Structures are given as structure tokens and as C-alpha cells.
């Protein structure tokens, strides 16, 4: 079983939201925060780990330089921490929503990552996930989460939970939305119905 802090999704992402028609990319932020469970699609750092919203970017999976026509397409955007967005830059990597899965990435107890598929190995290499700094960062958070789980249940719950400021997507009015039913399945809507778990792993 992978460490709790770094469990990649069990299957490819099936997007539940589909806003379109916005004239600026930042208008997609609330939708993407919810879509990607308030954490970086690449390294899995969570907003709850002390990150400010300004430290998360809206990354164009297909870089704007090579696909300018997709610059405002929702399905070409992923939620990324600023550090991962900088590391990726204009380079092309396999789609992280398909490549970085629990079955494709092994998270070792010493903080290293191993790719079990070609796409996962390429992503890990391009993103430099096994650099000394990132391995040390990952191991530190693995230890923090483990210590909190054993000794501070309240802090553990906070670190593994959803943020308090989850967006109410029903108040947003995109020019169009190809998947309007996703609003009812958003984290905010689930919380309002009392169906949202206090924390999540993947």
C-alpha cells in the first residue's frame, strides 16, 4: 500500500465539469480546484499543506506555444502547484491524468518514485521527481502524515481533508457548460448534502 500522503488516483480522470467560453484562463480556477481535489495533479501536494492559492497554477497540458488554439479549452487544463508548472515549462509530458495512477507509480518508503509504465517513467524523469530535493520533500511529508496519524488525529484530519473555502460552483455562470450535472457532484455540493467524507486519500 502506498504512503497515505502520496497515493495517486486509482484510475484515469473522467472530468465531471465542462465550462467553456471564458475569455481568460483564471476563470477556470474554481472548476479546476474541485476537479483535481484541491491538490497538484503531478506531485500531489495539497492546498491543506500550507500552500496558498497563489502557489497553485492552471497548467496547459498541451503547451500554449504548440497548441495556442487549446489555450482556453477546459480539458487542456490541469491543477498544478507552481513548482511543478515551472519544472514542466513548455515541455510535453504524457497526460498526467492518465499516466500518474496508483497502478503506474510506485511510491517507495524512502521518498523515491518508480514508474511501472513507459508514460509514468517518462513523466517522473521529465519532472525530476527523483531529484534530491523532491525526494527529501516527499519523505518529510510522509513522516509528518505518519506521525500525525499516530499522535495527533486532529492535525492528521486537517492535513488530509478538503479546504474550508471550497467553491460553490452553482453560483458561477460560464458562457457554456458541457457537463452541468457535475455541479451536483462537486465537493461543495456533496458537503452541503452531508455526503462528503472528512478526508480523502486518492
pLDDT in tens, 99-146: 999 999 999 999 999 999 999 999 999 999 999 999 999 999 999 999
Q: Are 54 and 122 contained in the same domain?
A: no
- Tell whether the model's pLDDT for residue 78 goes beyond 80: yes
Phi, psi values for residue 99, rounded to 5°: -90, -35
**55 falls within a domain:** yes
**22 falls within a domain:** yes
Could you write out the DSSP letters of every residue in 69-84?
Answer: GGTT-GGGEEEEEHHH
Q: Which pLDDT tens digit goes with each residue over 170-183? A: 999 999 999 999 99
Report, as an integer, the average pLDDT of 65-84.
91
Check if the beta carbon of residue 3 is closer than 8 Å to that of residue 137. Answer: no
Q: Are 24 and 88 contained in the same domain?
A: yes
Q: Are 22 and 84 contained in the same domain?
A: yes
Average pLDDT, the chain: 93
Q: Are 37 and 86 contained in the same domain?
A: yes
**4 falls within a domain:** no
Give me the domain span that covers residue 20.
14-92+176-197
Report, as an integer, the average pLDDT of 14-31.
97
pLDDT band at 65 (very low <50, low <70, confident <90, very high): confident
Q: Are 88 and 27 contained in the same domain?
A: yes
Q: Are 114 and 155 contained in the same domain?
A: yes
Q: Which string of b and e fits 11-21 if b means at least 16 CB within 10 Å? A: eebeeebbbee
The share of the chain scoring above pLDDT 90, in percent, equals 84
Task: Specify the number of domains making up the chain.
Answer: 2
Amino acid at each position: 500500500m502506498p504512503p497515505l500522503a502520496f497515493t495517486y488516483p486509482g484510475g484515469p480522470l473522467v472530468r465531471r465539469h465542462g465550462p467553456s467560453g471564458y475569455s481568460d484562463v483564471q476563470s477556470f480556477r474554481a472548476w479546476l480546484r474541485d476537479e483535481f481535489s484541491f491538490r497538484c495533479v503531478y506531485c500531489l501536494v495539497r492546498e491543506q499543506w500550507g500552500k496558498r492559492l497563489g502557489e497553485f497554477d492552471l497548467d496547459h497540458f498541451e503547451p500554449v506555444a504548440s497548441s495556442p488554439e487549446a489555450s482556453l479549452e477546459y480539458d487542456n487544463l490541469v491543477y498544478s502547484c507552481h513548482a511543478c508548472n515551472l519544472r514542466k515549462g513548455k515541455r510535453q509530458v504524457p497526460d498526467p491524468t492518465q499516466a500518474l495512477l496508483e497502478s503506474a507509480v510506485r511510491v517507495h518508503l524512502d521518498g523515491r518514485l518508480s514508474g511501472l509504465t513507459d508514460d509514468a517513467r517518462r513523466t517522473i524523469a521529465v519532472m525530476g521527481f527523483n531529484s534530491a530535493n523532491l525526494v527529501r520533500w516527499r519523505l518529510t511529508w510522509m513522516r509528518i502524515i505518519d506521525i500525525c496519524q499516530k499522535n495527533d488525529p486532529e492535525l492528521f484530519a486537517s492535513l488530509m481533508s478538503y479546504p474550508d473555502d471550497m467553491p460553490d460552483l452553482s453560483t458561477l455562470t460560464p458562457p457554456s457548460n458541457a457537463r452541468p450535472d457535475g455541479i451536483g457532484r462537486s465537493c461543495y455540493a456533496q458537503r452541503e448534502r452531508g455526503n462528503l467524507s472528512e478526508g480523502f486519500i486518492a
